[in-house]
Structure 1
């Protein structure tokens, strides 16, 4: 998955970053939703859909969000338009087994990010020189036109997004001749891109990357990987941003300042605190750590919470929350294989029994690059799967996980009734 290109080519080594998406609070109840034809999607899904054979169609890792009875999983696809998705009901049923095109514009696709604003999904994707997006209704109707967040050959991914009911904050990296920095731009939930950039987030760092963002009902919180402590040993910093674009914490707040490289953060609002998770290099192998940050910026865990410290490298964490527990998922690399693992973290910062558990099915050599969302009483983890590493295209798979850390099923989301044409 090429989107995790972290810290630009200035670093001089291959480093990987994280898929960054975060969503605002959403309702957990499921309600019938009308499709673009006026039909009830809930009723429609009770009729068995035509069976189609799964295909490897994806060229990026997936992103997932939940809204009003549906998960929407999106990915970069080999088919025309380049960005596709599928709706998944909380019982695991695919509403549209062959997927549907999300990039309805004429431009290229790219690796997508997603958030839910309480009414609709906002889906963005990064191309070579721009960040574009559309709105998607909960029945899968794509609402055009495609809007352009920013156009610049210096803009790099990954792209983070979180939404209130009125404003979304989009985060991204801007490269320069001397380094890179995190910028952000606000987009209304009507798809109007506001002109002012939120910049100056951490001007003291030469290299910044991998920004992720969450919304707590009052403020946005951005977390990122920051090189001010050393280009090869970055740390995790964070900053709050008001809905009007005011930067509350110029220069950023230190979240994880430790030996080794702290990379690939993700963040979620738990109802009481922000929980930031990352891949941590303070030990012999890379581990998953976390820290809780209060809405006033106070850091509860300055030494970090060791979440997963098993054998091998633990990479690319993602996190979702409900009630008093968060589900943290990540890619675990050991002995040439990649697997998706998970663990639950309590609001008080403790790792919950049974500890680390397997999420992916072990059907593929490489099961990697997960994202996770909560809704309808369970968590949905989406990830890529392929028989070789690296390999493109890949399958996109999903696993439903309940509050008792039980994996209910694993399904393949990338399906098509005919062989797809190559994307332009």
Structure 2
């Protein structure tokens, strides 16, 4: 459920072949001239009325966010087209419902890196505008329900923005600059799109710097996790706090989830049905690895030393997590010494056992750079959405791709989700207003 904004910045071109229909030739002696011309006219008409589908285009300015509801996945991203926030739906069988995507930000304000959640009836999408946070509701049939609502309007607010929803309200989390540094705030939004006036404060009062927040709902309260400078400005740790639906902070100032040497950053969190699983990128070994910890509903951390999940020699970044039954799928961006990157994953059992110590490939694309994944469960499988490119131009848009993975870790199909019938007009201001890496 993530809002990842890193930039690999690049281009990818695909070549498509055309389908050719062949008929058994008729000898010239048996076909009058006018009949041959008639055949040519029919063939030309057939070519006009059955055009090839539009090829994929690089359209995305940030990594995607994905959620499942109403029988479909909805993937959203920050886009170069007017409105800035676009999405597409995909069925669990791989069918792309909206091949050209559709505009999610139907308002006049700017788009930005989005996040998404499902409240049991509809999707709620929120995004960082650069001067606050806006949002909108989207039905499972793709209808965008206006008007766009403003969660907060302030130049002091920055992302990544995240949210989680109950059947009645959503909690939106974000970072706010202050005189000393930054802290974590949140705001509640009803599922009717009504923004409640009270800010949720007091989450990260013990830190000079706090950011990169993420949130999940367990049916009773929300757990917010974030990057916290109490381990040092350059060696932050992961902290968390529970919040009740009425906005009460159960753990004022937060509690430690991961404290270790080096940086602990970019957390994600999911409710497993029994406890929360928090995952993050960890620098204790000198490289960037993926670690996790299980957190009970009462705030007790079962794994204070962390569970090593992805520990290959090269860097592992930007983890995301989804859960089903007794297993969670954790996915991440894995760097290589040659400057390329790919999306890999591993399953973590409810009891904390790592099921694939070496991980496995989540994507089978041949793109040079695969970055900033998100993952959701639906229809009995996982959909991992991520950015993909093979250009070295950091200002160029990316493709968004989706890889379906079943519970036996087999890739069922890879789809390019960003398509457009006409070339997009790229906004220069949008390209220069890129959010920093999560």
User: The TM-score by the shorter chain falls in which range?
Assistant: 0.7 to 0.9
How many correspondences in the alignment? Answer: 383
Residues of 2 paired with 1:79 and 1:321: CA distance?
A: 33
Deviation at 1:144, TM superposition (A): 0.1
1:115 pairs with one of 102, 112, 117: 117
* Cross-structure match for 1:19: none
**For 1:3-402, what aligned pairs fall within 5 Å after superposition?**
4=5, 51-335=53-337, 336-353=339-356, 355-389=358-392, 390-402=394-406
Measured in 2, the distance between the counterparts of 1:327 and 1:3 equals 18
Counterparts of 1:384 and 1:200, CA distance in 2: 35
Contact 1:225 1:263 (C-alpha < 8 Å) held by counterparts: yes
Deviations 1:363-409 (A, max 9, x none): 21110000000010000000000113545200000000000000111
Q: Deviations over 1:252-281 (max 9, x none)?
A: 111000000000000000000000000000
Which residue of structure 1 aligns with residue 409 of structure 2?
Answer: 405
Structure 1 residues 81 and 54, CA gap change in structure 2 (3 angstroms): same
- Residue 194 of structure 1: SS of its match in structure 2? strand
Q: 1:398 to 1:2 in 2, by over 3 A?
A: closer
- Give the superposed CA RMSD: 1.8
Report deviation, 1:291.
0.1
Aligned-pair CA distance for 1:185: 0.3
Unpaired runs of 5+ residues, structure 2, are 8-49, 430-438
Partner SS for 2:298: coil
TM-superposed CA distance for 1:196, in Å, is: 0.4
Is contact 2:64-2:76 (8 Å) kept? yes
Q: Which has the higher helix share?
A: 2
Contact persistence 1:161–1:212 (CA under 8 A): yes
Instruction: Judge conservation of contact 1:4–1:157 (CA < 8 Å) in 2.
Output: no
The alpha carbon displacement at 1:251 in A equals: 1.1
Mapped partners of 2:3, 2:264: distance in 1: 20
CA distance, structure 2, for counterparts of residue 49 and residue 94 of structure 1: 18
Native 8 Å contact 2:389 2:399 kept in 1:
yes
CA contact (8 A) 2:239 2:258 kept: yes
> 2:322 aligns to what SS in structure 1?
strand
Tell me, yes or no, if the aligned pair for 2:262 and 2:286 is still in contact at 8 Å: no
Choose 1 or 2 for highest CA Rg.
2
Distance 1:364 1:245, change over 3 A: same
TM-score by length of 1: 0.88
Deviation at 1:362, TM superposition (A): 4.1
SS of aligned partner of 1:421 = coil
The answer on whether the counterparts of 1:136 and 1:143 sit within 8 Å (CA) in structure 2 is yes
* Match 2:425 to one of 399, 421, 424: 421
The match for 2:22 is: none
Q: Distance in 2 between matches of 1:411 and 1:73?
A: 12
How big is the shift at 1:177? Answer: 2.6
Aligned with 1:236: secondary structure?
strand
Kindly indicate whether the alpha-carbon contact (under 8 Å) linking 2:136 and 2:144 is maintained by their aligned counterparts in 1. Answer: yes
Rounded to whole Å, the distance in 2 between the matches of 1:152 and 1:206 is: 20
* Native 8 Å contact 2:269 2:277 kept in 1: yes
Residue matched to 1:31? none
Alignment partners' CA distance in 2, 1:340 and 1:211: 22
- 2:67 and 2:320 map into 1 onto residues whose CA distance is 12
Shift of the alpha carbon at 1:2? Answer: 10
Distance across 1 between alignment mates of 2:358 and 2:138: 36
Residues 230-255 of structure 1: CA deviation (Å, up to 9, x unaligned) = 00000000000000000000111110
